[in-house]
Structure 1
Amino acid sequence: MKVIGARVLVEEIKLAEKIGGVIIPGREDKQTNKGIVACVGDGAISDNGTKIPMRVKVGDTVVFTNFAGTPIKTKNKDYLILNERDILLILDKEDS
């Protein structure tokens, strides 16, 4: 699989939440999601024609806005295709 432009393929990290000892599989009221970058595009092109390199790389753990991206399914996994601008931050290894 190859991502083009300033897009990122992310495997979302599904976090189960506990409320009063009961596991809640997902909450729609959360503001952000977390995922692992699986593939990155080759970057955007500026107005003057220069290539803008991607700031994220494969293996980065990222936080992105809720409901961002386009879901895509493969035989083995579910991914999201995000625009790089939808990524809010890249977590350091000790933060992820």
Structure 2
Amino acid sequence: MKIRPLQDRLIVKRVAEENKTKGGLFIPDTAKEKPLEGKVIAVGNGKVQEDGKVRPLDIKAGDTILFSKYAGTEIKLDGEEHLILREEDVLGVIEK
């Protein structure tokens, strides 16, 4: 299924977390928290301003981002979990 986000929304796929700590300990699934990092799959056209102009988003498809813990709406696309976020829920872009 293909989906196109509207306005200032993004579709994000969470980045898989490590199962092991740096010290070599394995983390059970029950102790894991959902990662706050994800890869942007698709972006909307931009936010509509009060004067009617559209401001393009600073985030592009393919960017890796950090987002707030309770942000967005979880959806399933082709059996995989994704999030729909607003641009304001993004805390930063990870540059590698």
Range class of TM-score, shorter chain: 0.7 to 0.9
Stretches of 4+ aligned residues off by more than 6 angstroms:
none
**Aligned-pair identity (%):** 31
**Does structure 1 residue 27 correspond to structure 2 residue 33?**
yes
**Counterpart pick for 1:82 among 85, 91, 96:** 85
Q: Which residue type is aligned with residue 5 of structure 1?
A: Q
Equivalent residue for 2:66?
A: 63
State the Cα RMSD in Å. 1.9
Equivalent residue for 2:56?
A: 53
For 2:70 and 2:5, the matched residues in 1 are separated by 20
Within 5 A, what are the aligned runs for 1:33-44? Answer: 33-44=36-47
For 1:84 and 1:24, the matched residues in 2 are separated by 32
Q: CA deviation at 1:24?
A: 3.5
For 1:87 and 1:5, the matched residues in 2 are separated by 15
Normalised by the length of structure 1, the TM-score is 0.83
- Give 5+ residue unaligned stretches, structure 2: none
Equivalent residue for 2:12?
A: 10
Equivalent residue for 2:76?
A: 73
Structure with more of its chain in strand, by fraction: 1
- Give 5+ residue unaligned stretches, structure 1: none
Look up the SS of the partner of 2:27 in the other structure: strand
For 1:57 and 1:80, the matched residues in 2 are separated by 15
Normalised by the length of structure 2, the TM-score is 0.83
Number of matched residues?
A: 90
